[in-house]
Structure 1
Amino acid sequence: MTRVSVFSSPLLLGFDHLERVLDRASRAGNDGYPPYNIERIGPAELRITLAVAGFAKDDLSVTVEDNQLIVRGRQTDDPERVFLHRGIATRQFQKAFVLADGVQITGATIDNGLLSVDLSRPESVTPPRQIAIR
């Protein structure tokens, strides 16, 4: 089956980067674990909060790669523990959020099983530019 791109129009020049970003976003949005919230905490500030109960601070990593915020969690089993019943699974996860150009990570905190990542989205005003005709 041939995939037809919305950006294949000759009027949309230079949007191949945007197409790749949209592909990554659609693939990353399919996994529901861990659950998360995105909230506005100021005029240009956002907060992503992930429910990571059972993960210690050392089990989590927050990185930015290619305009993507990537949160990874990996729990390790303690071989000394003997379970009579195991209903809480240890699992790993990777959650990716596509960031717009200019968005910066201002910090990350963990409290009561909730990992909060704060982002800053500065206002960008691009004035119109006059192009000289030669």
Structure 2
Amino acid sequence: MWCKCNPYPTGSSNHCFISLEQIDEALDNLPTPIRGQQYYLLFVDVESLDISELLHPRLKLLGYDLSDLTLTSSLLNCGRWIAVLAPIAQRVNQYGLLNLEDALKAQALLPEAWNYSHHGDVTIWALIEVD
């Protein structure tokens, strides 16, 4: 499922979408972001992502994040990644996000690394900028 447009530009709001076609239609009806200052951000559950959809000319993959059931970013908001997670955290890209391989590694390591707390049960999200 494609989920959430960033509500940053005035007059926009959060939306959930089932398909890329729905996103195109919604974006045509939303205010145009100020280039270089605002943008729409989509996040997509990687398990439901068809990678070929990322070839869409309006989409730019920024990287991957992980979140627990409360949609809290495990990468940014659940404490420092230490021990086995530290090398992964050191490889974030210019957006502070992971590549897919590292996100998958982190997803496998997080439960044990965080003593099976709820913060270790995560979903991987692709974060995508919309032009």
TM range (shorter): under 0.3
Q: TM-score, normalised by structure 2?
A: 0.28
Greater Rg over alpha carbons, structure:
1
The structure richer in helix per residue is 2
The structure richer in strand per residue is 1
